[in-house]
Chains A and B, each alone.
Chain A
Amino acid sequence: MVLFVLIFSMTAAADSINTTVDVNEGIVLNGDIHLEVLDVGTNWGSYAKLKFYSYKDAGGKTESIYMGDVPTTYTSGTFMKIEVTLDSISYDTAFLMIESTTSLKISDRYGFEGEDETEKEKQKPITVPKLGITRTFDTNRAEQGQTIRTTLTIRNTGNGTATNIVLDEDTITGAYKDGCPSTIDDIAAGETKRISYDLRIVDAQPGTYELSPAILNYKSESGATYSSESSSSILEILPEEVRIPELEISINSVKGIITCGDKFPVTVTITNVGNATTGKVHVKSDLPADVRVVDGDLEPEYESIKPGDSEEYDVSLRAYEQGKHTIEMQVMWGDSEAAASFEFWAEKSGLEQYYPYILAAIPILLLLLWIIKRRREYSY
């Protein structure tokens, strides 16, 4: 039940009245002009949809007046002229100020049935959606095999809901979108929607690409078709970095010349100069026949070596024969291997060089000692 509130303020000439009229309520001014409130609302400002007609003007007119606008004028068939201004609205009530050159009198109020939906729909104000789209990437440089997170930000800056939104976005050859919808749910006026998806760079050739704008095709509620697009984007595809472990092995000793029979240290260093961690690492050695390991393990195994890391170990060796010696070292990981060699010269010790002479001298010395002994025995 509609509550009627009627405020009368009557003047003799250049009269004006302020009155509230509910939606689906009409008033009769001076028994001539009918003023009916069809609707109130706040689209683009507070408004009230009014219908004017009179006895000799049965068609009258329907017009929406906005708060703050200039007064809306209606002249009846009997030439009675009124000016109506919308002062304010409430939930379903319009507060109108009516002025006229003649004295005004609300001779009747009445209610009436609301217009049917079709008619009402016909009388709805025209709404226009306006979508704006922005495309961003988490990175503009990506390697082959990498994934780029792409975000589309869609904002409806119009006054109508965008419907039947279809996304039309090209991509570069060799890149594939993962989780990107081709259609987008309706976006109401003022609403912002973000859509994210992965752009997988699978086999795109390295280079700099300009991605064409993402295009949104959409309709308004009234079925009007619209389109909007983002700006184009620059994307750089880098060659895929191959990640493999690469080991280097070296062997060296602080001693340049080795003395036969003496223990000497060698240091073996294995360095991963690659960019990936190795699997199990095996070290193999090939020693000359006369070289023996005295201390340490010359062929250790490592579970893995990280990029940039080194494994170093010391081993004590001993060479027994004089001459040039070569130690071959081999490091193996996966299906790869690397080798290094260490050459050194072994010399007989100072004493050892004279072994033949010493051996030859021993009997002579013994004989000499014997002679000396005998001479001493016979010397008086």
Chain B
Amino acid sequence: MLNILILGLGQCGNRILDAINREAFGSGGTFAKYYSRQKFPASVKTIAINTAVNDLKELKNTLAKDRFHVPHLHGVGANRNIGKQVFEENKEMILEEIDKRGSFDLIFVITSTAGGSGSSFAPLLVSELKQTYNAPIICIAVLPFRAEGSIFLQNTAFCLRELVATKSSGILLVDNQYLKKYSGEDIKSAYDKINTTTARRILFLIEALNSEMLMVTDLGDLKTVMSGGIGVGTMGFYEASKGSTIKSTILGSFKPSGLLFPANVYKDGARAMLIIKGDKKYLDLDLVTKTVEELSKEVGQVFKGVLVKKGRPKVLSLFTLNAVPELEKLYTVAAEAIRFEMEKREKSKKQLENAFAHIEDLEPIY
């Protein structure tokens, strides 16, 4: 059984982690935690790490002992510099807390790239974990709404760069902006839906890695996939409808509507992993093999795993990309936002200096 550690950093990471814990209770609803036990598909340890204690308190399905507060008032106020400083000051404590969970075969670090704590902690923590553990570390990086503000955009820009620089096993992107258009609801509901979707796909992946499969794919395959391209990718998902073939289901998982980040898999895909789960009667292995072969011609190396379970076929696709055009757009916007912010600050500074100039030679008279 695989020992897996899932770390949720900052508010966003905490909430996705909480969604993972909730999904692990199954379909018991809100009160399942009072009478049921989590059923992770592997030996999963979770820790929610945050500097904002209120964010930790909002979690519903994560054990209190799995919530770790890094003491710094109530968050770092989206200031990554402060966040980094806080991490450095507390990293021994954080690493000690992680160390209590034992050893791991795979580590997920879930964080928003836009916030304060998560975006500042994630690159530093990944670096520290790499030094301590010999397990692959996969970052789940959540990109913000583009209109959330210039600070979030610049945080995303620098955070992503730093994450890539850590040379982790790979980064899987989740784009709130992209997913919002599919959720079609208010912001809160959209966040909840995105968090739940992300949580289910991570659990799907963990289940596949830890199960005996009809056609096997494993942790080694995952490492190979994640090391493809620029080491950045995303996940897709598709559930067969009535009358769907296994081929259409597999291909459905590559559709943009099933992806967590906008990408042209057929054009930019480097390596991919397909995990097919469903009743054996739906699983035409020849067709699966043939379909994967066809995809490999376009996407590159495609690993496949077939997991026999009751129900209609479900397919999780995980892939890395050779190019990420959407990131270029994001960085362009981020750069504009930074420049705009700099100009605004210069202007404000000059305006303030001009104002002070009016009293430069004067003294107060009482």
**Distance in Å from the Cβ of A334 to the closest Cβ of chain B?**
75
Q: Does A302 contact B (CB under 8 A)?
A: no
Q: Does A379 contact B (CB under 8 A)?
A: yes
Residue of A nearest to B54 (CB): A380
List of B residues within 8 angstroms of A376 by Cβ = 64
Q: Does A378 contact B (CB under 8 A)?
A: yes
**Distance in Å from the Cβ of A373 to the closest Cβ of chain B?**
9
Are A380 and B59 in contact (CB-based, < 8 A)?
A: yes
Cα A380 to Cα B59 in complex, Å, equals 8
Q: Flag A353-380 by CB within 8 Å of B: 1 or 0 each.
A: 0000000000000000011001111111
List of B residues within 8 angstroms of A375 by Cβ = 34
Cβ-defined partner of B60 (8 Å) among A370, A371, A378? A378
Q: Which of A102-155 contact B (CB under 8 A)?
A: none
Are A379 and B34 in contact (CB-based, < 8 A)?
A: no
Interface size of B by Cβ–Cβ distance < 8 Å?
14
Q: Flag B35-77 by CB within 8 Å of A: 1 or 0 each.
A: 1000000000000000001001101111111010000000000
List of A residues within 8 angstroms of B67 by Cβ = 380
**Distance in Å from the Cβ of A375 to the closest Cβ of chain B?**
7
**Distance in Å from the Cβ of A379 to the closest Cβ of chain B?**
6
Cα A43 to Cα B115 in complex, Å, equals 171
Beyond A370-B34, A378-B63, 18 additional contacts (C-beta under 8 Å) are A370-B35, A371-B34, A374-B33, A374-B34, A376-B64, A377-B63, A377-B64, A377-B65, A378-B33, A378-B59, A378-B60, A378-B61, A378-B64, A379-B64, A380-B56, A380-B57, A380-B59, A380-B64
Residue of A nearest to B65 (CB): A377
The 7 closest A-B pairs by CB, nearest first: A380-B64, A371-B34, A380-B67, A374-B34, A380-B57, A377-B63, A380-B56
Residue of B nearest to A374 (CB): B34
Residue of B nearest to A373 (CB): B34
List of A residues within 8 angstroms of B62 by Cβ = 378
List of B residues within 8 angstroms of A379 by Cβ = 64
**Distance in Å from the Cβ of A28 to the closest Cβ of chain B?**
171
Q: Which of A4-36 contact B (CB under 8 A)?
A: none
Cα A376 to Cα B64 in complex, Å, equals 8
Cα A376 to Cα B67 in complex, Å, equals 13
Cα A3 to Cα B62 in complex, Å, equals 168
Cα A376 to Cα B56 in complex, Å, equals 14
**Distance in Å from the Cβ of B11 to the closest Cβ of chain A?**
14
List of A residues within 8 angstroms of B53 by Cβ = 380
Residue of B nearest to A376 (CB): B64
Residue of A nearest to B48 (CB): A380
Can you pick out 24 interface pairs between chain A and chain B where the beta carbons lie within 8 Å of each other? A370-B34, A370-B35, A371-B34, A374-B33, A374-B34, A375-B34, A376-B64, A377-B63, A377-B64, A377-B65, A378-B33, A378-B59, A378-B60, A378-B61, A378-B62, A378-B63, A378-B64, A379-B64, A380-B53, A380-B56, A380-B57, A380-B59, A380-B64, A380-B67
User: Residue among A370, A374, A377, A378 with the most chain B CB within 10 A?
Assistant: A378
Q: Which of A271-310 contact B (CB under 8 A)?
A: none
Residue of A nearest to B69 (CB): A380
Residue of A nearest to B60 (CB): A378
Cα A259 to Cα B65 in complex, Å, equals 50
**Distance in Å from the Cβ of B31 to the closest Cβ of chain A?**
9
Cα A370 to Cα B59 in complex, Å, equals 20
**Distance in Å from the Cβ of A378 to the closest Cβ of chain B?**
6
Cα A377 to Cα B62 in complex, Å, equals 9
Cα A379 to Cα B57 in complex, Å, equals 7
Cα A279 to Cα B168 in complex, Å, equals 108
Cα A25 to Cα B65 in complex, Å, equals 167
Cα A370 to Cα B31 in complex, Å, equals 12
**Distance in Å from the Cβ of B66 to the closest Cβ of chain A?**
9
Residue of A nearest to B31 (CB): A371
List of A residues within 8 angstroms of B65 by Cβ = 377
User: Residue among B53, B60, B63 with the most chain A CB within 10 A?
Assistant: B63
List of A residues within 8 angstroms of B59 by Cβ = 378, 380
Cα A378 to Cα B36 in complex, Å, equals 13
**Distance in Å from the Cβ of A54 to the closest Cβ of chain B?**
171
List of B residues within 8 angstroms of A377 by Cβ = 63-65
List of A residues within 8 angstroms of B63 by Cβ = 377-378
**Distance in Å from the Cβ of B67 to the closest Cβ of chain A?**
5
Cα A379 to Cα B58 in complex, Å, equals 9
List of A residues within 8 angstroms of B34 by Cβ = 370-371, 374-375
List of A residues within 8 angstroms of B56 by Cβ = 380
List of A residues within 8 angstroms of B61 by Cβ = 378
Residue of A nearest to B67 (CB): A380
Cα A370 to Cα B34 in complex, Å, equals 7
List of B residues within 8 angstroms of A378 by Cβ = 33, 59-64
List of A residues within 8 angstroms of B64 by Cβ = 376-380
Q: Flag B67-93 by CB within 8 Å of A: 1 or 0 each.
A: 100000000000000000000000000
Cα A212 to Cα B183 in complex, Å, equals 144
Cα A375 to Cα B33 in complex, Å, equals 8
List of A residues within 8 angstroms of B35 by Cβ = 370
Residue of B nearest to A372 (CB): B34
Cα A220 to Cα B33 in complex, Å, equals 141
Cα A380 to Cα B62 in complex, Å, equals 9
**Distance in Å from the Cβ of A370 to the closest Cβ of chain B?**
7
